């Protein structure tokens, strides 16, 4: 049941990204081009997502178990660190250069956007590099 719920949720999310234009890099880059031909339509998409997400997280924080009877795993709020700021900057630069962020990039990959292949490859390489660095730091700390 969990995998079916995950599949349906992922499909719904992907359809939402396509319908909203978030999987179209030209639309995203138009939104990010505030000094040129700015397209504010994605601001409404983001505002709607923030509103729905805020309500959902507010309700979820009150629960100990999910509707599928799984433990609620909500990350605790934490301080703003240099690591968080650097990661946010890297995310923003990637989004601004390519017009993709991870979720929409996977949707665009499935939809056949050629540009998504390069972005997803770079994203996977970045994730692998992060894991290697983290395991290296952990080994140094332990040994």
Q: Where are the domains of the chain?
A: 2-142
Residue 143 has pLDDT above 80, yes or no: no
Task: State residue 61's pLDDT score.
Answer: 87
Q: Which two tokens stand for residue 43?
A: 């601001």
Residue 142 has pLDDT above 80, yes or no: yes
Q: Which two tokens stand for residue 23?
A: 């999987």
Across 96-124, average pLDDT: 90
Task: State residue 36's pLDDT score.
Answer: 86
* pLDDT digits 0-9 by tens, 48-99: 999 999 999 899 889 999 888 889 888 877 789 998 899 899 888 888 888 8
Quote the CA–CA distance of 61 and 77 in Å, as a whole number: 12
What does the angle CA 41 – CA 106 – CA 25 come to, to the nearest 5 degrees? 35
Is the Cβ–Cβ distance between 105 and 17 less than 8 Å?
no
Task: State residue 110's pLDDT score.
Answer: 87
At 23, the pLDDT band (50, 70, 90 cuts) reads confident
- Percent of the chain, pLDDT > 90? 34
3-class DSSP state for residue 66?
Answer: coil
Is the Cβ–Cβ distance between 21 and 27 less than 8 Å?
yes
Residue 22 has pLDDT above 90, yes or no: no
Quote the CA–CA distance of 19 and 17 in Å, as a whole number: 6
* pLDDT digits 0-9 by tens, 122-134: 999 999 999 999 9
Task: State residue 133's pLDDT score.
Answer: 93
Q: What is the pTM of this model?
A: 0.74
């Amino acid at each position: 049941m969990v995998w079916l719920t995950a599949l349906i949720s992922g499909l719904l999310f992907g359809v939402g990204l396509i319908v909203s234009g978030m999987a179209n890099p030209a639309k995203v880059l138009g939104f990010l081009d505030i000094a040129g031909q700015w397209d504010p339509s994605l601001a409404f998409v983001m505002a709607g997502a923030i509103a729905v997400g805020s309500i959902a997280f507010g309700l979820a924080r009150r629960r100990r178990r999910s509707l599928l009877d799984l433990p609620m795993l909500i990350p605790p709020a934490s301080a703003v660190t240099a690591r968080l700021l650097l990661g946010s900057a890297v995310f923003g630069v990637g989004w601004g250069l390519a017009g993709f962020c991870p979720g929409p990039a996977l949707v665009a990959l499935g939809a056949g956007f050629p540009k998504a292949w390069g972005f997803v490859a770079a994203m996977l390489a970045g994730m692998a590099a992060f894991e290697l660095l983290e395991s290296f730091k952990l080994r140094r700390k332990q040994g």
